[in-house]
Structure 1
């Protein structure tokens, strides 16, 4: 299975009703894991046959694979070398991000997970922004180029930073000034229509009990060490500040 096809399938998955789950798990020593899961099974339920029609018989039955972005970068090292140094440095940070994909047309299953380990919460990057950076590698005028498709996906004109101390965890969204907003009204309208039934879920797991959370709709686990908050995906696109979160520990 070629990585080129897998990235095309991944981009296709986001163009329908999906559930995006951002999971952060912090261990006792402050290290942890960051994962973004995309459940595009609704796409398979609605258009699985059409997607499978363009694939070989073997491909259309089942995909269960894992690859790291460093494999993609290795294939495009010549193109990357021509990019600005700052962009090359950004891509370097993504080398160890791992993509896991499961696709089964018969079972109406399309699951994609992007995973990365971190040594400090402050190192966390917004995974969807990382995907956007990757897509820019092959952004061309040719609409048939899969890596050039949807290069504005998840561009909500914001940046996410995370911090973690003994007493508090912060997820802070910074939105660029309106005059530098790169998201047009037409684009927002398109995303609002496409993602009308999609959700963006925050799921955070900590090594200590939680005292309180800034979002009153947060759901606690039985041991109060985990929280889950669900948002419409349109909130992520149109008002990302709604996804600000402060978690205080006992």
Structure 2
């Protein structure tokens, strides 16, 4: 398995991925947040001989399980930092690698009682990344905006009449990322990958400020696709407001 992941890391730099941020808001204001990375094209490029001894993986685990395993270290943090970690315990993650169907998927999701609660959780995610930036430097997923970007804080607002998504850029963090040699090594991935926003609403959409948004037939779902490297450099490009009918 160790040799496999070394090969996987090499192929990751040579191929593209699709990152999808998906939010579903129910009529009562509750909903679900999901972020996934589809790297199936990586699996398709792997030499078949290298996969003969490998077993398919379909693993689901929660942040709470990870935090429980590190509870001694977490207990040494400040009360404020511990509270931020506590906010993330409802997140679940799934990793699926199927060598027969060339499928590789990494997904992270959580349910929320309101968009305000989602906002609080995502703010905690952003803060956790800053606390853990030493590890994020060597992880191509580390600065992804949908996970709570270390270069921008994404705010969500919803009042039943309007919905907005707004990234507030941390210019100093963005500058550090641009000068980070580790991040530069993933430039090829960013340039060939795309970032997709897919939001499902309980009401039909009247208008979206982003002119590239595509609508479902009932106008309750909007989809926006954007080059991932451009999103990394200018996360505010995916700021938009939705007005409902």
Normalised by the length of structure 2, the TM-score is: 0.81
> Is contact 1:41-1:108 (8 Å) kept?
yes
Report what 1:143 is aligned to.
none
Which residue number in structure 2 is paired with residue 70 of structure 1? Answer: 64
Structure 2 residue 45 is matched with structure 1 residue 46: yes
The Cα offsets for residues 122-181 of structure 1, whole Å up to 9 and x where unpaired, read as: 2225869838836966957xxxxxx88428533551100100012100001101244884
Offset of residue 40 of structure 1:
1.1
Does 2:151 align with 1:157?
Answer: yes
Local SS of the residue matching 2:27: coil
Q: Distance in 1 between matches of 2:225 and 2:123?
A: 17
Post-superposition offset of 1:112: 1.6
| CA-atom RMSD in angstroms | 3.3
Taking a change above 3 Å as real, the CA distance of residues 92 and 45 of structure 1, as seen in their structure-2 partners, is same
Residue 174 (structure 1) aligns with:
168
Q: How many residues align?
A: 232
- Residue by residue over 1:92-111, the C-alpha shift from the partner in whole angstroms, topping out at 9 and shown as x without a partner, is 11111011221112321101
For structure 2, which runs of at least 5 residues remain unmatched after alignment?
A: none
Q: 1:199 to 1:193 in 2, by over 3 A?
A: same
Tell me what 1:222 maps to: 217
Q: 1:235 aligned to 2:242? A: no
Q: Report the TM-score when normalising by structure 1.
A: 0.80
Matches of 1:49 and 1:77, distance apart in 2: 41
Gaps of 5+ in 1: 141-146
